[in-house]
Structure 1
Amino acid sequence: MAALSYYSTYPPILGRRASTRSSARLFYLVDAIGRLHEPTQTQLDALESSYLSTGEFLAECPEFTGQLHEVHSHGSRQLGTLVRPRDESREGFDIDLTARLIPAAMGKYEAPNGPVRLLNDLHAAVERYAKAHGLGIQRWERCVTLEYAGGMFADIAPVIDAPLQFGLYGDTLGRIPDRDKRLYELTNPRGYAKGFDKAAAISPVFTSSLAFSEALSMEKRADVVPLPDSQEVFSRLLSRLVQLLKLHRNVAFGQAIGGVDDLAPSSIFITTLAAAAYAVQAPRPHDSPLELLLDIVETLPDYFERTPLPNGGEHWMLANPSAPGENLASGMNTPARQAAFNSWHGLINKQLTDIVDAIERNAGMDVLLPKLEAAFGKRAAHAIRDEEARQRQSTTSIGRVALVSAGAAIATTARAHTFFGD
């Protein structure tokens, strides 16, 4: 099945019938956790300034004179799905950059050793930039990683433009070198972003959207974390869902250290599954964004192909419609990685269900926070705990008590007053 398709023959998922207030409570917390893991505007400005400076330097390097025409971000930065790195000791963010060369550059780099030469030229140029600015640098099979100040890492991959006049998003196709394979493979980060945006633009159908909006407004009045209005929340559900999945993946797998194999599913694999599931599930009626979110998470394994192998294993296939022939599940085709994905999928379903059940039971923060921490990490739980304490202190002074732990009343008025402060 092609990823990011916009039709389905999959059977509907039966709704879980969580109360509207509980749905608003969990979705409020999910959105708050996602926002806590996003870069600030200052960090975003620093990201942009850093990679623009790097791009200007590369464009003037003798290795790429007249050939490198643009350096741009792609991946999670472009999709709006950035989360903090798996190493919780780092405050910086990881971004992906593409150094785009004109098609004529293939004349220089098409020889049998061309892919390796291109990567060597990129490394040499980036290394000069790193030394001039006191930055760290690492080289990989397809990219060079630059470590900026503040713990931000940027993977810079060279791509030679190779546009086609046919195929989905063929006008933005390119060829990326692979050092180990010593060949070029098709890539299309801009085409992928267009497909993701197309899926995200699908309007979800909610049978009780008014009731949910009212319940979400009650959550906002608790002032746990500043949130946009419900319509803005609805308009970016897919990006928020991907953030949630990536964050849970980071917490579940932790940081691979000491030569241990990293079995975590890649971000591109998770993102593509989520977009495909959203495109199918969003047009179907759901009571609330929570029920849509749960249905998407539950059906993730339905959106890639599994082919039985003679040895009893499976070959997984997830086609990238923006780059013909690319299998986004290629990195999943080992028994250990497939078992790890299946276990992770079962874990996130169980933990989300446990959190919903706790909210539905009006459990206190002493019950809910450990569940949130287990699913989304200490940073998320600590931030919600700190914000709850701050709001309880500030709202009590004017006769209001914020109850952020359960789906009961969000705020109660102790006595009438005429003071409406800032």
Structure 2
Amino acid sequence: MNITTRIIARLHALSEAAMVLNSTLDLTQILNKNLSYILDILEVDRGTLYLLDPDRQEIWSRIITGDGMEEIRLPYGSGLAGAVAVSGEAIILDDVYQDPRFNPANDQKTGYVTRSMLVLPIMNQQQDQIGVLQLINKRNGVFTDSDQEFAASLAGISAVAIENARLYEESLRSASIKKELSIAREIQSKLIPTTLPDIPGFELAFRYEACSEVGGDYLQLMPLPDGSQLVIIADVSGHGIPAALLVSTLHATVESHLESVSSLEKLAAMLNNLIYRNSTSSTYITFFALILHPDGTFRWLNAGHPSPVLVSGSAATLPFEASGPPLGMLRDMKYEEQTSRLMSGDCLALFTDGITENFNSSEDMFGEEGLGATMIRCQKVPGSDLIESVFQDLNAFTNHAPPDDDRAILVLRKA
């Protein structure tokens, strides 16, 4: 396999893994699927994915055997995997018998000969270590820095799925639906920003309010290598844990491709086919993304999402129409990327339909017209005050009726 083919295969594996690993809450499946991806792509003979148990100072794993499932446990510091659990530093060995930390007991018991080994920590989004990945005997040659980088990337993707599964396993200890929804809310809340980045020349403000039933709203701002900013707002169909899981999948997939996001069209097409292949026919994601440059120009793409409201001067417009259906509805969809520009004083509001699809006692809808009217009235006030006015107007319009959907809005204003 030449270098180009190998790189393409590894990128494809990362994409598939982000979708598949985040599509289940079965921790055993996640551990074994993740390991299977790594063994196949890196052409490795054996491997184990351990999780840390800080309370017992042990690393442990579940492996599928011919008789069912087996749990194995090792104390911190035992062998090479135990050493990485303590140090948090990766180890690459061409000859394990030259390292005194290697325990040859299993080789002596089974007759198997361990030659090379790659052992690395698994880190979550907060850069806390949650596990250890141990790979044994690369079939062709020895482990390389490139192998370590790929294994670390896939392990990072799996970390999101592992933590989701752990949260869910905790919820299974209680039959309470309230507990289950609380877990789903926790999964989703990790994917809504608590603070916004400081982007010179722009004012940003946002607000997210959850309804009593967990929805699938998603909002993220991510810096790109060229200094631009990727902004995504999305809304997953349905509620509860399935919606929260799909939001988690979306986030993990996008994050795994940040270094190569050059085309929103390619990103949307890839996300669409992944969701189509791995979700039910009733599952989809409305999706709006833009890449913002310092001069105010931005490339944008809309897949079935409500058009953001643009206020320029005294006019509120909806110029960002969808070029295709929501992600996951149809296979092999092609979406159109377009370019626009924010001028000084222009204000752009990205939102989910929990903001606009609210009705009063006369069955009139607040809609984009209501949102645009509030934005025009509040052009001169800070973004946070503008959003506060939106929620005040919305609550007055509905007579403070409790919402039946999450509400998310991001305001972006060019200085």
TM-score by length of 2: 0.28
Structure holding more helix per residue: 1
Structure holding more strand per residue: 2
TM-score by length of 1: 0.28
